[in-house]
Structures are given as C-alpha cells and as structure tokens.
A and B are shown apart, each in its own frame.
Chain A
C-alpha cells in the first residue's frame, strides 16, 4: 500500500513536471495567439462596461434632473402653504378662504339667520311709525 502510494506520488510528480514544462515551452505562434485572445477578452470587458455606462447614463441624468427640480421647487411650495400672505388678497388664511371668496356666494349664506328677530324689528318699527302717525293725526284733528 505504501509502495503503491509512493509510486503514485512519483507518477504524479513526473506527470506534473512534464506538463508544466510543455506549457512553458509553447511555440511562439501559439503564445502570440494566446496574447491576442487575452487582449480581445479585455477589450470585450471594456466595451461591455462602456455599454453599461451608456445604458444607465440617461436614467441617471433624468433622476438628477428630477432631484434638482425637487430641490428648487420644494421651498417655493412651502411658501404657498395655508399661512402664506398673498400680496393680492392680503393675509388670507388658507386655500379654503380663497375658494369661499371666489365662489360668489354671500359670506353669511351658510349661517343661521334669526328671521324672527328681523320680522319683529320691522314690525316694531312699523308699529312705532303707526303710533307716531296716529298721534299726529289726533293732534291735527283737535
């Protein structure tokens, strides 16, 4: 068993030496072809990387542009919030008020109106006028 292993080991060593020697002493034409193949492989790698860059460049540019737009417009957007002062309509608190103003409806249209009070006031006014008128008529009659 040991002898078999030793023989195998010698065989392996001699085989390795033979094969390595043959690889180190390849003909010039073969070495040249291998060098060309290596350069071609490296060129493929570079071309592939360039292609990937070109493929991602438009998307990256678009993303950068979108980011720039956000940076520019976000502060402006905050100024137009509900607490902003509009130079045209003064200090109006919010978009709701602007809509209310621009809707054309009376401002108190949605408020409860005490119609009884107004009717009484009209009646009271008419009643007072009537009393004054009667007094005046009586005075002229006498």
Chain B
C-alpha cells in the first residue's frame, strides 16, 4: 500500500516536471494549442496506464517516445485529411478549422527575466525554424537541447542508435544556424 502511494507520488512529480516542456514540444511540432494539449494528455495517460510499474529512470525516454508517436499520429491524420479535402474542392473551407494564427498561437511569455531579454520575434522565428526541420532532426534537437536528455536517453526515446541521434542533432543545429544565424536580437 505504501509502495503504491510512493509510486503515485513519484509519477505525479515526474509528470509535473515534464508537462510544460512536453506541451511546448508538441505545440512547436503541431502549431496548434488544443492538439498539443490532447497529445500531452494522451502521452500522460498511456505512460500512467502502461508503464508506471517500470523503474522511474525509464519514464522520461518512454514518455517522450509516446509523445512523439502521438505527434506523428496527429500529423498523419492531418495529412490524410488535407489530401481528402483537396480531392473535394466543393467542401474546401466548409468544416475546416481556421488555420492557426501564428500570432495568436505564440506563447504569452510574460514579463520574466529571460523573456525580457529576448524579443517575441526571435522566439517565433526559432519556433518556426524548428517546426520546419525534418521530424527526426526536430525530435533530436528538442529532446537534447530543450528537454536536456543525454544522447543515450534521446536514442531510447527516438528508438534509434546514439550515432543517429548525434547526426540528426548536428544537422538540426546546422540548419537552424543557416536560418537564424546566432539568434541575436
């Protein structure tokens, strides 16, 4: 009984520690707040239901693997829907959700010490550049750079070798540097 309570507490602490970054990762990939929230919730539920009995050290790579799978599911569904909609020109725009407005979608960073130093334009440019990366490069960059996973954990989350992680990450940084320079305001 005590173990169960401890396990629940550990899981709650873990989820609280990853939920915001997970949301931002999903939001950057999907460019849609509601979809990002749904994806994060699904990942939390799946981790809790299926993998909470695993050692806590395995949770983070597992959680991000689930999250990336859910992100790809949403991207795939969107792609199929867009293709179907393209074949039905008379329906275009009828039931479509309005395209996400990048300005409205941009996170309200608020007056924090970090964001006071950075302009919204730079953040938006960064998000746009990261979102434009190929999926694997985006995953590697966000997991390594933003979430702070090490190479081994990132490889576990991406289900690939550590060498592939290094390659994807290097290419992602190169692509971002080409687009953004050194990110100075």
**Contacts A18-B118, A48-B49; is A40 near B44 (CB within 8 Å)?**
yes
Which residues of the partner chain A approach B145 to less than 8 Å between Cβ atoms? 12, 15-16, 19
Q: What separation, in Å, do the CA atoms of A34 and B25 have in the docked complex?
A: 14
A8 interface residue (CB < 8 Å to B): yes
Query: Shortest CB–CB separation between residue B116 and chain A, in angstroms?
Result: 9
Interchain nearest-CB distance for B122 vs A (Å): 7
Interface residue? B151 (CB, 8 A) = no
Interface footprint category on A:
20 to 34
Q: Does residue B135 face the partner (Cβ distance < 8 Å to A)?
A: no
Q: What 1/0 mask marks residues of chain B from 1 to 43 whose CB sits below 8 Å from any chain A CB?
A: 0001000100110011001110110000000010001001100
Query: Which A residues are in CB contact (< 8 Å) with B23?
Result: 23, 26, 30, 34
Number of interface residues of B (CB under 8 A): 45
Does A46 sit at the interface, judged by CB under 8 A? yes
Complex contacts, A17 vs chain B, CB 8 Å: 114, 118
A45–B180 Cα distance when bound, in Å, is: 43
Asked if residues B177 and A37 are in contact (CB atoms below 8 Å), the reply is: no
Q: How many A-B residue pairs have CB under 8 A?
A: 124
Q: Which residue of A lies closest to B169 (CB)?
A: A12
Chain B residues within an 8 Å CB radius of A10: 182-183
Task: Choose one: B33, B44, B110, B122; the contact of A41 (CB below 8 Å).
Answer: B44
Chain B residues with Cβ below 8 Å from A34 are 19-20, 23, 37, 40
B182 pairs with A15, CB closer than 8 A: no
Taking a contact as CB atoms closer than 8 A, the residue among B49, B109, B177, B183 that contacts A21 in the complex is B109
Chain B residues within an 8 Å CB radius of A27 = 107-108
A37 is contacted by which of B33, B41, B146, B181 (Cβ under 8 Å)? B41
Main secondary structure of the interface of B (DSSP, over half): helix
Choice from A11, A25, A41 contacting B107 with Cβ under 8 Å: A25
User: Among A11, A30, A31, A37, which residue has its beta carbon within 8 angstroms of that of B180?
Assistant: A11
Residue A14 at the B interface, CB < 8 A?
Answer: yes
Instruction: Report if A49 contacts B (CB, 8 A).
Output: yes
A22 within 8 Å of B (CB atoms): yes
Interface residues of A (CB under 8 A from B): 7-8, 10-12, 14-27, 30-31, 33-34, 37-38, 40-42, 44-46, 48-49
Would you list 9 pairs from A and B whose C-beta atoms are within 8 A, ordered by A residue?
Answer: A10-B183, A18-B183, A19-B146, A22-B107, A22-B109, A40-B44, A41-B48, A44-B48, A45-B52
Q: Which 7 A-B pairs have the closest CB atoms?
A: A21-B114, A37-B41, A41-B44, A41-B48, A14-B183, A25-B110, A23-B20
